[in-house]
């Protein structure tokens, strides 16, 4: 099932990620928020594992690839596209972290203009409404 996702942060004018279409491993058109988060995390972990750095792929001359300039213009970010992390992510632990973060209010989830506040809330993915993750930033300080 294809869905459109956007990631935003409070206080920022532009989204952290442009709206992106991803394909989830489900045939159900109605899923709970908990199941939706688990599917998103599974998809992202699989992407991370696919793009992780392999020892035999080490680039010793560090030349940019031929598609480097379009990536720069699209993202505005300089990088060589490799993830130099040799650790594999445990999908179950990552899913649990995402659920706990949602319960703790570290990010908000919207389907179209409707905020999804409960893990048991049902999401109808067949409506083709954009799903938006908003990262909430808390002020930190101390009383001196």
pLDDT digits (tens, 9 = 90+) for 14-61: 766 678 888 888 888 899 999 999 999 999 998 888 775 555 555 555
Look up the domain containing 101 and give its range: 2-135
Residue 72 lies in a domain: yes
What integer is the mean pLDDT of 81-94?
78
Who has greater pLDDT, 141 or 124? 124
Give the model's confidence band at 74: pLDDT under 50 very low, under 70 low, under 90 confident, else very high.
Answer: low
Q: What average pLDDT score do residues 54-69 get?
A: 58
Contact present, 9 and 128 (Cβ < 8 Å) = no
- The per-residue pLDDT for 47 is 86
Check whether 135 has a pLDDT greater than 80.
yes
Closest CA to 37 of 91, 114, 112: 91
142 inside domain: no
- Residue 97: its pLDDT value, please? 96
Nearest alpha-carbon partner for 134 in 34, 47, 16: 16
On whether the CB atoms of residues 24 and 43 are closer than 8 A, the answer is yes
Express each pLDDT in 91-131 by its tens digit.
Answer: 999 999 999 999 999 999 999 899 999 999 999 988 888 99
- Give the pLDDT confidence score for residue 85 in this predicted structure: 64
Residue 62 has pLDDT above 60, yes or no: no
pLDDT at 141: 60
Look up residue 10 and give its two tokens. Answer: 């409070």
In a domain, 140, yes or no: no
34-72 burial code (b ≥16 CB/10 A, e <16): bbbbbbbbbeebeeeeeebeeeeeeeeeeeeeeeeeebe
Look at the chain and report how many structural domains it folds into.
Answer: 1
Residue 33 lies in a domain: yes
Q: Is residue 101, in this structure, part of any structural domain at all?
A: yes
Is residue 7, in this structure, part of any structural domain at all?
A: yes
């Amino acid at each position: 099932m294809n869905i459109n996702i956007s990631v935003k942060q409070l206080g920022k004018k532009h989204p952290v990620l442009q709206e992106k279409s991803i394909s989830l491993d489900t045939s159900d058109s109605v899923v709970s928020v908990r199941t939706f988060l688990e599917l998103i995390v599974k998809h992202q972990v699989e992407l991370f594992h696919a793009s992780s750095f392999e020892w035999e792929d080490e680039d010793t001359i560090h030349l940019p690839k031929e598609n480097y300039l379009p990536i720069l213009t699209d993202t505005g970010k300089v990088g060589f596209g490799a993830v130099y992390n040799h650790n594999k992510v445990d999908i179950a632990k990552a899913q649990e972290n995402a659920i706990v973060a949602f319960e703790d209010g570290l990010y908000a989830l919207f389907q179209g203009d409707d905020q999804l506040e409960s893990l048991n809330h049902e999401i109808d993915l067949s409506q083709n409404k954009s799903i938006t993750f908003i990262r909430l930033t808390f002020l930190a300080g101390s009383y001196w």
